[in-house]
Amino acid sequence: MEFNWTYQEQTPLLVRTFLKHQGISKKLLAKIKFQGGKILVNRAEQNVLFSLKAHDIVTVVIPDEAPHETLLADDVPIDIVFEDEHLLVINKPAGIASIPAQYHPRGTMANRVKAYYVAQGYANQVVHVVTRLDRDTSGLMLFAKHGFAHSKLDQSLQQKQFVKKYQALVSGEVASLRDHGTISLPIGRDLSSLLKRQVIETGQKAETEYWLEKRNQRCALVDIQLHTGRTHQIRVHFSAIDCPLLGDDLYGGAMDQGIDRQALHCYSLSFPHPFDAKRLSFELPLAEDMADIAKKR
């Protein structure tokens, strides 16, 4: 894969420094050097110590990524929301994990995406997961189609340039929910469980903003934006204010409302494209099982 930039400044600059500014890490530079890539200036091959002058054209050829043989391919269709040569956005169904685990090597979205890459004959077949969802959370997931894109998207995540929004159905003390509110409670591990998290004074800062969409006596539909990214954050926070998610038996959610998974759906994802900085925004309708409950009065 080839990338091109024009150096616009008048002051000379080392190629190494210029490429760092473009988001190319030391690890990726090593891969370019030792695995068949190239660095060109005005179409002539150069090393990273070459000094650039104004209007030089810098080209980087990044070698293709061979697939990880340990990631098995599951030939199951995926619901593609968006795709270009750098990105893949999919709609993940509930009940499917994002990535394999030691004793569960297949049956995940990563396995399905691997099979899709193989079927398409893509040169880069390493699966790069950028945004994960819990097994029983449905909605938008983002994959990078090569390592350079993954690196730049991770930088955007660290700079808080991503906006992820969720919809949830919550139960319990729904009458106490305001039209708009923020839950700011620290989250840490629950030492009684390998999986569970809890609100605890010694935990990490966590902030969840919500807007009330509708409610009845049994449940409420809320629109949610995370301002931090703690494990199980939405589930823990709403449980802590006595409004656990429907179907979330781990955190005390009602299990008699016609849904047996946490009623949580990532419906909106927005972020800058890693190579042209154009802001991309994607939205999905509410998942069908949640929509059926939300329609009831």
Q: What residues are annotated to the active site?
A: 134
Please state the length of the chain.
297
Phi, psi at residue 247, to the nearest 5°?
Answer: 75, 0
Maximum distance among all Cα pairs of the chain, rounded to whole angstroms: 71
- Cα–Cα distance between 21 and 5 in angstroms, integer? 11
Q: What residues pair up with 100 in beta bridges, in sequence order?
A: none
Place of tokens 């991309």: 280
Token pair listed for 264: 């949580």
- Cα–Cα distance between 164 and 273 in angstroms, integer? 15
Place of tokens 């800058």: 272
179 HSE (CA, 13 A, CB side):
0
Token pair listed for 281: 């925004």
- Cα–Cα distance between 248 and 239 in angstroms, integer? 9
Percent helix, percent strand, percent coil in the chain, to nearest 5 = 20, 30, 45
- DSSP for 186-233 reads -EEE-TT-SS-EEE-TTSB--EEEEEEEEE-SS-EEEEEEESS--TTH
- Cα–Cα distance between 155 and 161 in angstroms, integer? 9
Place of tokens 């009458």: 175
Is the CB of residue 53 less than 8 Å from the CB of residue 7? yes
